[in-house]
């Protein structure tokens, strides 16, 4: 079989990947003290050594008020950023690239995680359901003021700057999965009537202003953006007014200088969710397109051959198989993912 996914891929003049295989961002909850450690380094290094071309780190929380999970890494202080240096070096030694995924949970949180202050969001209405992290209801958020939004943008900028300073090849802005940026994009959550709510243009403003600021400080080779217009978390849904949103948002990202776009569906079926979005996005996206969710090797190769995707992400299979790429080469079956695997980093 002509394995397209094993080919090297030039993202741009500066970044060449040794394969088209991308490790998806996956929160693991092993960052005691909100820092990366040797165990985390070894976990990522095994995948780099095995042949993964690009590693997207687990979500790294940009500021303590942005957290919502147990034992996830932060990048608020320079010491927290520096805790990643051994991991970055270990990965780059194998000629694999590593991007730091920058994360703000917004209202998918609780004051237990934000240092006692209420979580922030586009709205004052809490997310429904129970936060499985602390088995409490999600906290009642405070809707960010315009000044609050600028402050949050600054947290992102400071986090991005620290990430690049300590040697990450780039950063990924996580604008999906129902977290803060998505709480602005999504009309069912965003109930504002200022310039950050209401029309499509207004709902996209939080993200686009953020992207603009980030692009002013970093080169196109250092930035990826993750969106999830068709995520499925506790029920299938799309961004409302999906076509209009995509028609507005995607060309804007391009215009602002973004060249790497990661379209996710969280943990849903690829072909009925993000695969569908990717077919809508591709004609308006001349840049690098990343996507995938538990695709077979054949499906991944076909998505590349048909020019839907440039790079293919895997999450659960890479988590379950530290020798994921070797198994592709030797035509072996991947070990299926099992939730019990979450209790260990191997």
Ligand X SMILES: Cc1cc2nc3c(=O)[nH]c(=O)nc-3n(C[C@H](O)[C@H](O)[C@H](O)COP(=O)(O)O)c2cc1C
Catalytic residue list: 179
Q: Answer yes or no whether residue 294 interacts with ligand X by CB under 6 A.
A: yes
**Minimum CB–partner distance for residue 104 and ligand X (Å):** 12
Q: What's the 3-state SS for the chain?
A: CCCHHHCCEECCCCCEECCCEEECCCCCCCCHHHCCCHHHHHHHHHHHHHCCCEEEEEEEECCHHHCCCCCCCECCCHHHHHCCHHHHHHHHCCCCEEEEEEECCCCCCCCCCCCCCCCEECCCCCCCCEECCCCEECCCCEECCHHHHHHHHHHHHHHHHHHHHCCCCEEEEECCCCCHHHHHHCCCCCCCCCCCCCCHHHHHHHHHHHHHHHHHHCCHHHEEEEECCCCECCCECCCCCHHHHHHHHHHHHHHCCCCEEEECECECCCCCCHHHHHHHHHHHCCCEEEECCCCCHHHHHHHHHCCCCCEEEECHHHHHCCCHHHHHHCCCCCCCCCHHHHHCCC
Q: Answer yes or no whether residue 106 interacts with ligand X by CB under 6 A.
A: no
- Nearer of residues 143 and 223 to ligand X, judged by Cβ: 223
Other CB atoms within a 10 A radius of the CB of residue 330 amount to 8
Using CB under 6 A, count the residues that bind ligand X: 20
Q: Answer yes or no whether residue 315 interacts with ligand X by CB under 6 A.
A: yes
Out of 6, 11, 19, 27, the only residue in the binding site for ligand X (CB under 6 A) is: 27
- What is the CA angle 236-108-344, rounded to 5? 90
Tokens of 302: 């076909």
Q: Answer yes or no whether residue 58 interacts with ligand X by CB under 6 A.
A: yes
Q: Answer yes or no whether residue 163 interacts with ligand X by CB under 6 A.
A: no
Out of 98, 230, 293, 345, the only residue in the binding site for ligand X (CB under 6 A) is: 293
Q: Which residues contact 205 (CB under 8 A, 6 or more apart)?
A: 184, 195, 196
For helices 85-92 and 38-50, angle between their N-to-C axes, nearest 10 degrees: 20
Q: Answer yes or no whether residue 267 interacts with ligand X by CB under 6 A.
A: yes
- How far is residue 248's CA from residue 334's CA, in Å, rounded to a whole number? 39
**Minimum CB–partner distance for residue 297 and ligand X (Å):** 13
**Minimum CB–partner distance for residue 314 and ligand X (Å):** 4
Among the residue ranges 31-39, 137-145, 150-158, 260-268, the one whose residues contact ligand X (CB under 6 A): 260-268
**Minimum CB–partner distance for residue 269 and ligand X (Å):** 9
Q: In this chain, which residue has its C-beta nearest to ligand X? A: 315
Out of 59, 126, 141, 170, the only residue in the binding site for ligand X (CB under 6 A) is: 59
- Nearer of residues 101 and 190 to ligand X, judged by Cβ: 101
Among the residue ranges 2-10, 47-55, 126-134, 311-319, the one whose residues contact ligand X (CB under 6 A): 311-319
Q: Answer yes or no whether residue 76 interacts with ligand X by CB under 6 A.
A: no
Interaction pattern, residues 5-24, with ligand X; x per rule: CB under 6 A: -------------------x
Out of 110, 205, 226, 259, the only residue in the binding site for ligand X (CB under 6 A) is: 226
- Nearer of residues 37 and 299 to ligand X, judged by Cβ: 299
- Nearer of residues 215 and 312 to ligand X, judged by Cβ: 312
Q: Answer yes or no whether residue 174 interacts with ligand X by CB under 6 A.
A: yes
**Minimum CB–partner distance for residue 105 and ligand X (Å):** 10
**Minimum CB–partner distance for residue 71 and ligand X (Å):** 13
Tell me which residues touch ligand X (CB under 6 A).
24-27, 58-59, 101, 174, 177, 226, 264, 266-267, 293-294, 314-317, 342
């Amino acid at each position: 079989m002509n394995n397209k996914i094993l080919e090297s891929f030039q993202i741009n003049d500066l970044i060449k990947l040794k394969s088209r295989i991308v490790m998806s961002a996956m929160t693991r909850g092993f960052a005691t003290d909100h820092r990366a450690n040797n165990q985390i380094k070894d976990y990522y290094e095994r995948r780099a050594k095995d042949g993964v071309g690009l590693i997207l780190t687990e979500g790294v929380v940009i500021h303590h008020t942005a957290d919502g999970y147990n034992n996830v890494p932060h990048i608020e202080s320079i010491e927290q950023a520096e805790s990643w240096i051994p991991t970055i070096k270990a990965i780059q030694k194998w000629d694999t690239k590593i991007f730091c995924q920058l994360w703000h949970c917004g209202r998918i949180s609780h004051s237990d995680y934000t240092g006692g202050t209420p979580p922030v969001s586009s709205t004052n209405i809490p997310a429904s359901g129970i936060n499985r992290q602390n088995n409490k209801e999600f906290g009642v958020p405070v809707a960010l003021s315009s000044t609050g939004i600028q402050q949050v943008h600054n947290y992102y900028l400071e986090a991005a700057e620290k990430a690049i300073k300590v040697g990450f090849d780039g950063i990924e802005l996580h604008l999906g999965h129902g977290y803060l940026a998505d709480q602005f994009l999504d009309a069912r959550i965003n109930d504002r009537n200022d310039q950050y709510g209401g029309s499509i243009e207004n709902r996209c403003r939080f993200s686009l202003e953020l992207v603009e600021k980030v692009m002013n400080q970093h080169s196109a080779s250092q930035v990826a953006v993750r969106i999830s217009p068709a995520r499925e978390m506790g029920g299938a849904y799309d961004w409302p007014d999906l076509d209009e949103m995509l028609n507005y948002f995607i060309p804007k990202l391009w215009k602002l200088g973004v060249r790497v776009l990661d379209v996710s569906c969280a943990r849903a079926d690829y072909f009925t969710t993000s695969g569908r979005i990717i077919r809508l996005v591709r004609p308006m996206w001349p840049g690098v397109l990343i996507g995938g969710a538990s695709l077979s090797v054949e499906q991944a190769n076909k998505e590349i051959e048909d020019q839907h995707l440039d790079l293919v992400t895997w999450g659960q299979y890479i988590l379950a198989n530290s020798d994921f790429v070797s198994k592709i080469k030797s035509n072996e079956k991947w070990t299926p993912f099992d939730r019990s695997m979450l209790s260990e980093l191997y």
